[in-house]
Structure 1
Amino acid sequence: MSLVPRLAVRKAERANPGKKLWKEVKVEKRGDGFTILLDKQPIRTPLKKLIVVPESKPLLADAIALEWSLLHSSKDALTKRYRIPLTQLAARVIDMREPNARTPSRDTTISNVMRYLHTDTLIFYAPSTLEEHRDPNKKTLRELQVAEAEPIVEWLTTVLWPGTKIEYNDGDLGFVVIAHQLPETVKAIREWLEGLTDWDLVALEIATMSSKSFLIGARLVAEWSSDVGVGEKSWGIEEAARAASVEVRYQTEIWGEVEDTHDVDKEDIKRQLGAAWLIALGAEK
Structure 2
Amino acid sequence: MKRIAPLASSPLFHTSCRTVPSPCPPALLQCLHTTLPRIATPLPITATGPPPAAPQPSASHHGERVDRRRRQAELLKRGQDMRASHMKPGTAIKKRFWRDVSVQTDHENNHLVSLDNRALRTPTTKNPLTIPHSKPHLATALALEWDLLVSAHQATRSHLIPLTSISARAHVLGLEDGENQSAASSGTGIRYDIINMLLRYLDTDTLLCWAPASTPTNPSDKDVRGESLRDLQVRTAKPILSYLAQNVWPGVELKPTLDNGSILPTSQPAATRAVIEGWMAGLPAWELVGLERAALAGKSLCVAARLVCEWSEYLKLGDMQGEAWERFGIEEAAKACSQEVIWQTGRWGEVEDSHDVDKEDLKRQFGSVILVVSGIGNTTQP
Tell me the TM-score normalised to structure 2 length: 0.66
CA RMSD of aligned residues (A): 2.1
For 2:172 and 2:99, locate their aligned partners in 1 and report how far apart those are by CA, in whole Å: 27
Q: Give the one of 140, 145, 152 matched to 1:62.
A: 140
**Which residue is 2:206 aligned to?**
121
Q: Judging changes above 3 Å, is the alpha-carbon distance between structure 1 residues 193 and 250 closer, same or farther for their aligned structure 2 residues?
A: same
Instruction: State the SS of the aligned residue for 2:131.
Output: strand
Q: Which has the higher helix share?
A: 1
Which of 1 and 2 has higher RCO (CA within 8 Å, sep 6+)?
Answer: 1
Q: Give the one of 126, 132, 135 matched to 1:48.
A: 126
- The letter of the residue matching 1:27 is V
Q: Judging changes above 3 Å, is the alpha-carbon distance between structure 1 residues 44 and 252 closer, same or farther for their aligned structure 2 residues?
A: same
Alpha-carbon contact 2:170-2:286 (below 8 Å) kept: yes
Structure 2 residue 215 is matched with structure 1 residue 130:
yes
Alpha-carbon contact 1:27-1:62 (below 8 Å) kept: yes
For 2:193 and 2:297, locate their aligned partners in 1 and report how far apart those are by CA, in whole Å: 18
- The letter of the residue matching 1:208 is A
Query: Any residues of structure 2 matched to 1:15-94 within 5 Å, and which?
Result: 17-19=92-94, 20-30=96-106, 31-46=108-123, 47-78=125-156, 80-94=157-171
- The letter of the residue matching 1:59 is H
Instruction: From the CA coordinates, give the structure whose radius of gyration is larger.
Output: 2
Alpha-carbon contact 1:34-1:54 (below 8 Å) kept: yes
Alpha-carbon contact 1:18-1:75 (below 8 Å) kept: no
* CA deviation profile, 1:49-98 (whole Å, cap 9, x unmatched): 110011111111110000011111233223x3321110111111122355
Alpha-carbon contact 1:113-1:205 (below 8 Å) kept: yes
For 1:270 and 1:128, locate their aligned partners in 2 and report how far apart those are by CA, in whole Å: 30
Alpha-carbon contact 1:36-1:61 (below 8 Å) kept: yes
Query: Any residues of structure 2 matched to 1:135-146 within 5 Å, and which?
Result: 135=222, 137-138=224-225, 139-146=227-234
Mean Cα deviation higher: 184-193 or 246-255:
184-193
Instruction: State the SS of the aligned residue for 1:37.
Output: strand
* CA deviation profile, 1:222-250 (whole Å, cap 9, x unmatched): 11111222145821111100000000000
For 1:72 and 1:170, locate their aligned partners in 2 and report how far apart those are by CA, in whole Å: 48
- The letter of the residue matching 1:275 is S
* CA deviation profile, 1:180-206 (whole Å, cap 9, x unmatched): 212221111111101111111110001
Q: Give the one of 252, 263, 268 matched to 1:175.
A: 263
How many residue pairs match? The answer is 268
**Which residue is 1:257 aligned to?**
350
Structure 1: tracts of 5 or more residues without a match:
1-11
Tell me the TM-score normalised to structure 1 length: 0.88
Structure 2: tracts of 5 or more residues without a match:
1-86, 180-188, 320-325
Alpha-carbon contact 2:203-2:257 (below 8 Å) kept: no
